[in-house]
Amino acid sequence: MSTQTRSMLLNVGPSHPAMHGVIRLIMELDGEKIKGVDVEIGYLHRAFEKMCETVMYTQCFPYTDRLNYVSPLINNVGFALTVEKLLGIDIPERAKYIRVIMSEISRVSDHLTCIGATAMELGAMSVFLYMIKAREYLYELVEEITGARLTISYVRIGGVKADLTAGFTDKCFQKIADVRKVLIEADELLTRNRIFFDRMKDTGIISKEDAIAHGITGPFLRGSGVAYDVRKANPYLIYDRLDFEVPVGTKGDNLDRYFVRMAEMEQSLRMIEQCFQQIPDGAIAGELTGCLIPAAQMVDRAKMGQTDGLIEDEVDLDPTLQGSTKKYSKSINTDRRDVALPPKEETYSNIEGLMNHFKLVMYGHGIRPVVGEAYFPVEGANGELGFYIVSDGRDQPWRVRVHPPCFPIMAALPKCLVGSMMADLVPTFGSVNMIAGELDR
């Protein structure tokens, strides 16, 4: 009597806790051993690129927030730098430092979420709660500066929306100390935990050569021993002025990627501290000679023609616009009137400022780069995040494409999983840190 052995096909996701509800893996199994993996990513397509081609450049930022929504500030920065490359403009030094500070805060938030969620999916619920607590510290900083926690739309072409708030430096240093305490706690709970260590070690291995061949970047590549980081290889903003290391692994397994992310968080915190030591001063104290006037009152006076001395006054704005008045404007935005919105005092108090504002926000009159194309890469939380934009001279991009760091990793997922046990899927997929918003865009 002959026997026949057949493989079993098993759908993992999209309705599976570890698949986040947006991805489906079709597993071919021989018992508990993985023989093949077919990856289907199409459960969260929101037409990011085509939507950007239907609006003005400034209106694309809310869409970039929703790419990697765990570290949206980096998305904002990458898009702005690409448009600025098209325009051929530089931005004030203070704005560069602010962008880097907010990007690194965002990166640490992303890594905390990745490690915390992976640990939770392996049963370490306490670590997840500790790391989300640390992320909350950072979200409080983000909210104070941007006015939002997740969908922040903070960066502007030519600068940023608003300056840092008074006392922000001291708050940031305190939050950094609090985060470091949590990282020590997490290290004690995970790195020395035999169950976590054994689940991560020698699973999800990808060699240096295979990682490079698939175009993988970020912590996933560095875990395989390749010290490629866009911030070092192609420095942008002020990263070439910062002293930081690029952590790398040796084996390319899940444990190496865990160690790399843990080390990268400390490097990011170091960079934030250095930025505060180097950042140039912002608003000059006493540069205004007038009064502090509520926004509605300033607008009413301007409508009535009562403009004597009004240009010297400072407008009192609501929290969503604070930091965008004229005493901050020169240090956080380019001085090109065809790119950056005028300070709110000019918009509210005189016709020239109002016209300048409307020219930039009305269809057909906005920011208009010359005909050309540009690609600009930044180091996202998961690797190289690049935007490619083609301009036809209008105020809307003709073509927008994004290079998401998650996509090459997902393409290489079968390489990491085939030959492994079914239980190894969860830590391996967790170490990918797959963010569906940038993957299936």
pLDDT tens readout for residues 90-109? 999 999 999 999 999 999 99
* Per-residue pLDDT tens over the stretch 334-382: 989 999 999 888 888 888 888 999 999 999 899 999 999 999 999 999 9
Residue 296 CB neighbours (<10 A): 11
Question: What are 224-240's pLDDT values in tens digits?
Answer: 999 999 999 999 999 99
What residue spans of 376-435 are helical by DSSP H?
406-411, 413-417, 425-432
Confidence at residue 283, expressed as pLDDT on a 0 to 100 scale: 59
- Per-residue pLDDT band at 221 (split at 50, 70, 90): very high
How would residue 285 be classed by pLDDT, with cut points 50, 70 and 90? very low
DSSP single-letter state for residue 372: E
Report the alpha-carbon distance of residue 30 to residue 329 in Å, rounded. 63
The pLDDT of residue 44 is 86
Q: What CATH number belongs to 63-157+164-281+406-439?
A: 1.10.645.10
Cα 130 off chain centre by: 22
Distance CA 430, CA 315 (A): 48
Enumerate the domain spans of the chain: 63-157+164-281+406-439, 292-361
pTM exceeding 0.85: yes
Residue among 95, 127, 88, 132 at smallest CA distance from 110: 132
- Using the predicted structure, report yes or no on whether residue 384 has a pLDDT greater than 90: yes
| Four-residue CA torsion sign, 225, 23, 74, 107 | negative
Half-sphere exposure of 146 (CA within 13 A, CB side): 28
- Which of 150-159, 178-187, 280-289, 346-355 is the least confident region? 280-289
